[in-house]
Structure 1
Amino acid sequence: MLGKGRILALGFQHVLAMYAGAVIVPLLIGGALGFNGEQMTYLVSIDIFMCGIATLLQLTVNRFFGIGLPVVLGCAVQAIAPIILIGQEMGIGAIYGSIIVSGLFVLLIAPFFSRIVRFFPPVVTGSVVTVIGLTLIPVAINNLAGGEGAKDFGSLYNLGLGFGTLLLIICVYRFGKGFSKAIAVLIGLVGGSLVAAVLGHLSLAPVSEADWFHLPTPFYFGAPTFEWSAILTMILISLVSMVESTGVYFALSDIVGKPLDKKDLTRGYRAEGLAIILGGIFNTFPYTGYSQNVGLVQLSGIKTRKVIYTAAGFLLLLGLVPKIGAVATIIPTPVLGGAMVAMFGMVVAQGIKMLGKVDFSSQENLLIIACSVGVGLGVTVVPDLFKELPSFIQLFTSNGIVAGSVMAIALNLLFNMLPGRKKATEQELEIHHAK
């Protein structure tokens, strides 16, 4: 039996492990869309609060939703670029209208998606995760240098602060043990911010101006609007998130020794769909299972859901106190950039690890990886490639994550799911799930 004190400590550890990744999503989106300090504080606070709600939906098992595994849900990183693009092209309302509809879509297809997981073998999921990481690296580098368009972009101060943050994270990973490694990114963010404060480049005004307490407000940024191209984009992102969550579910089921059937997966996808709908209503973002918390479950050996319930409680509490949310908004851009290099680089590494389960003796698999990663990275590096196409088409073609994901799924269907290739694909999936 775990004592209450230990459960609290383990729960807070899960919060610390996912906090940096969770708050970076609203920070990047709000910054790109020009939100003011008050709006940014709300965005971060409600994001953390809704992470708690989303996690509770997965923990609570009933006939309709909840997978019942020790899973922590957070904002989907792959949604960052599409959300920014939709906001810049169509306005804030279109972002949340598309999120709400995509959540409804996830609810409706949950029973069917649980049957088509076989269409997403490691060659697809690994390629998608690799593309996600690679397309986000430029964002990290821009922030490390001070933020795109900054007057002091690439200054020695920005580079020193950004690379100093990255070096601190690396040192924690190298010399730290156990729990400290789990919060290396958070240590880096705090350390970099303290250096900026000592040098007089950190303003505490947003924290002093923030309220001590607030309640979530539906449609805080205005009524949602519904643009079909934005909706289709967000539906595609939700599908990618479902694929990512599927990997988290199977990893946790293996750790806790609980085999998953189609009904379990259906309830898990429905919980995710409900979380996405609530995210749209309360002006946050799509949610997905966080793999870093899977590592904590394995590292600690504690598999009880009580710990995750405690983590969800901490998230709810933190989200109701805007002053805590405001602290995250004052982190200097170069510090965020340095942390993002490590975080997004780890996404790439995770994708490569997943691709390690692929049969590389198959030339078809090599071509799937080559084309999906090539297209995803190419579109990211040369964003004007499709500038002559209509703007609604560019929502799909100018986003490297979406372009790379579609390429991976389509080529896998072409090479591995046609008659004569089906048997080999099923064998690869059985090996993947066994691992």
Structure 2
Amino acid sequence: MAEKEVSQQKAAVLGLQHLLAMYSGAVAVPLLIGNALKFSPAQMTYLVSIDIFMCGLATLLQLMRNKYFGIGFPVILGCAIQAVAPLQMIGQKFSINDMYGAIIVAGIFVVLISGVFAKIKKFFPPVVTGTLITTIGLTLVPVAIQNMGGGNSAAKSFGSGQNLLLAFCTMFIILALEIWTKGFIRSISVLIGLVAGTVIAACMGLVSFTPVMEASWFHLPQLFYFGVPKFEWSSSLTMIIIALVSMVESTGVFFAIGDLLHHDVTEEDLKKGYRAEGIAQIFGGLFNAFPYTTFSQNVGLLQLSGIKTKRPIYWAGGLLMAMGLLPKIGAMVTIIPTPVLGGAMLVMFTMIAVQGIKTLAKVDLSDNNNVLIIAISVGLGLGVTIYPQFFKNLPATVQLFLSNGIVITSLSATILNFLLKGGDRKAKQKTQTANIM
């Protein structure tokens, strides 16, 4: 569907659907860090509000492609979940101001190396991108299953009949709409599923409106809310490493969306995409928010809705900023029960994996080297996702890289492709040279 065919009203509804799909992941980071650093209720209110606002601003920076930054793809940016543990460590060991200083330094680093890092495109042929996209989807599935069970696997209520009923009802509603409806209704199947699931939960007495009642009406972003940033070298180095991990992960998402849009992702696209994320991270540090990265959650929603234009994402970004300024409205999204979100996530995340499989279908699977690249890389990615403590005896810096399933799949597929296929390329070049002579 061309962008001009999507009316503003429909784009707004589609934007809300994208917002709901990423919201829980976006607010998880401030909640985890704020609780770990024992923030006061007032500080937590600011932290969540500024985080939502900055998610919207970061998204708009990425959408608005210009001469200097912005990939211009229909992507949404949110907090980098891999930054949680390092930020908690920095905040506890040093101070909150050191934490935000490190975020700013890492953002500047991303902006400066964006052009150099973009040259990795040549290391991402279809066998690598297909493997990476497939793994992105598969590594997100455990998150969906955990949410379907209730969110906290240690809780007694995890996997209860109520949680499973809500999760599967939401999933079946989305599937029914995908099968038996068409047009706009089908494109917002996830949104309808989330609303319907929440209504069912409310009828069961499982929805609390307390967060909405307690939230304030208006909140403005403040520069240096927690004080002037401090710059400590080890903290900055740690966040630079996290930024590199996020850049590798974003690369996979960029290729996934490029594949979905039938767009060849260029070196220029990557450079502007990385640069937008770096600028967003700098703003995050200045306004005491967080590092931001391109969310993979919404790739599946693009595939599922069939609408791959930027207009709904502009709406999503604008709505996020508005919700950051109006906490009471933002709190309304938090009443969606976790199992309901999980049911919708399972559908979306598996769609990402299917997109990766479609890419791999174009790869010559009669070539055993290609099979080895896919098998080993997917295996490593899924294994590390299930057992992130696998590398716990390695140095902490190495663990920051290797505890992320998407990153280790990217490294594995890239290295194996170079080792196993590099010889093939040289042989072909020699053959072509011999034929010419």
- The normalised TM-score by structure 1 is 0.79
Residue 287 in structure 1 maps to residue 290 in structure 2: no
Instruction: Give the letter for the 1:22 counterpart.
Output: M
Shift of 1:241: 0.2
Match of 1:353 among 354, 358, 364: 358
Q: Provide the C-alpha distance between the structure 2 equivalents of 1:348 and 1:295, rounded to a whole number of angstroms.
A: 11
Match of 1:145 among 149, 174, 177: 149
Deviation by residue 1:31-69 (Cα, 9 ceiling, x = unmatched)? 5557488777655544443343234334545432245x4
Structure 1 pair 208–250 and aligned structure 2 pair: CA distance change class (3 A): same
Q: Which residue of 1 aligns with 2:340?
A: 335
Shift of 1:150: 1.6
Structure 1 pair 115–361 and aligned structure 2 pair: CA distance change class (3 A): same
Q: Which residue of 1 aligns with 2:435?
A: none
Residue 241 in structure 1 maps to residue 250 in structure 2: yes
- What SS is found at the alignment partner of 2:191? helix
Residue 71 in structure 1 maps to residue 77 in structure 2: no
Deviation by residue 1:116-144 (Cα, 9 ceiling, x = unmatched)? 31211222222222222222222222221
Deviation by residue 1:176-216 (Cα, 9 ceiling, x = unmatched)? 32222332222222222222222222111111111222122
- Report if the CA contact (8 A) 2:61-2:69 is conserved: yes
Match of 1:205 among 189, 206, 210: 210
Deviates more, 1:204-213 or 1:191-200: 191-200
Please show how residues 276-425 of structure 1 align to structure 2 within 5 Å.
276-282=281-287, 283-288=289-294, 291=299, 299=307, 312-416=317-421, 418=422, 420-421=424-425
Q: Provide the C-alpha distance between the structure 2 equivalents of 1:175 and 1:297, rounded to a whole number of angstroms.
A: 14
Q: Which residue of 1 aligns with 2:272?
A: 267
- Report if the CA contact (8 A) 2:59-2:317 is conserved: yes
Indicate the RMSD between aligned Cα atoms, in angstroms.
Answer: 3.7
- What SS is found at the alignment partner of 2:352? helix
Please show how residues 41-52 of structure 1 align to structure 2 within 5 Å.
45-52=49-56
Structure 1 pair 122–388 and aligned structure 2 pair: CA distance change class (3 A): same
Shift of 1:264: 5.5
Shift of 1:248: 3.1
- Report if the CA contact (8 A) 2:255-2:265 is conserved: no
- Report if the CA contact (8 A) 1:230-1:395 is conserved: no
Deviates more, 1:102-111 or 1:221-230: 221-230
- Report if the CA contact (8 A) 2:300-2:351 is conserved: no
- Report if the CA contact (8 A) 1:99-1:286 is conserved: no
Residue 104 in structure 1 maps to residue 116 in structure 2: no
Q: Which has the larger radius of gyration?
A: 2
- Report if the CA contact (8 A) 2:63-2:74 is conserved: yes
Q: Which residue of 2 aligns with 1:22?
A: 22
Q: Which residue of 2 aligns with 1:177?
A: 182
Shift of 1:396: 2.9
Q: Provide the C-alpha distance between the structure 2 equivalents of 1:297 and 1:342, rounded to a whole number of angstroms.
A: 12
Match of 2:219 among 201, 214, 221: 214
Q: Which residue of 2 aligns with 1:428?
A: none
Structure 1 pair 345–213 and aligned structure 2 pair: CA distance change class (3 A): same
Shift of 1:330: 2.2
Shift of 1:395: 2.6
Q: Provide the C-alpha distance between the structure 2 equivalents of 1:306 and 1:184, rounded to a whole number of angstroms.
A: 18
Shift of 1:72: 3.9
Instruction: Give the letter for the 2:15 counterpart.
Output: V
Q: Provide the C-alpha distance between the structure 2 equivalents of 1:307 and 1:338, rounded to a whole number of angstroms.
A: 23
Q: Provide the C-alpha distance between the structure 1 equivalents of 2:357 and 2:100, rounded to a whole number of angstroms.
A: 33
Structure 1 pair 173–56 and aligned structure 2 pair: CA distance change class (3 A): same
- What SS is found at the alignment partner of 2:321? helix
Instruction: Give the letter for the 1:403 counterpart.
Output: I
Q: Provide the C-alpha distance between the structure 2 equivalents of 1:193 and 1:221, rounded to a whole number of angstroms.
A: 36
Structure 1 pair 308–180 and aligned structure 2 pair: CA distance change class (3 A): same
Residue 117 in structure 1 maps to residue 126 in structure 2: no
- What SS is found at the alignment partner of 1:287? strand
For structure 2, the residue ranges without an aligned partner over 5 or more in a row are: 430-437
Q: Provide the C-alpha distance between the structure 2 equivalents of 1:422 and 1:41, rounded to a whole number of angstroms.
A: 58
Instruction: Give the letter for the 2:240 counterpart.
Output: I
Shift of 1:12: 0.7
Q: Which residue of 1 aligns with 2:165?
A: 160
Q: Provide the C-alpha distance between the structure 2 equivalents of 1:39 and 1:178, rounded to a whole number of angstroms.
A: 44
Q: Provide the C-alpha distance between the structure 2 equivalents of 1:401 and 1:95, rounded to a whole number of angstroms.
A: 25
The total of aligned residue pairs comes to 411
Instruction: Give the letter for the 1:232 counterpart.
Output: I
Deviates more, 1:105-114 or 1:195-204: 105-114
Shift of 1:369: 1.0
Instruction: Give the letter for the 2:247 counterpart.
Output: S
Percent sequence identity over aligned pairs: 46
Instruction: Give the letter for the 1:57 counterpart.
Output: L
Q: Provide the C-alpha distance between the structure 1 equivalents of 2:213 and 2:156, rounded to a whole number of angstroms.
A: 27
Q: Provide the C-alpha distance between the structure 2 equivalents of 1:296 and 1:134, rounded to a whole number of angstroms.
A: 16
Structure 1 pair 56–366 and aligned structure 2 pair: CA distance change class (3 A): same
- Report if the CA contact (8 A) 1:27-1:329 is conserved: no
Structure 1 pair 109–343 and aligned structure 2 pair: CA distance change class (3 A): same
Please show how residues 220-235 of structure 1 align to structure 2 within 5 Å.
226=235, 228-235=237-244
- Report if the CA contact (8 A) 2:380-2:408 is conserved: yes
Shift of 1:326: 0.7
Instruction: Give the letter for the 2:22 counterpart.
Output: A
Shift of 1:347: 2.3
Q: Provide the C-alpha distance between the structure 2 equivalents of 1:198 and 1:172, rounded to a whole number of angstroms.
A: 22
- What SS is found at the alignment partner of 1:116? helix
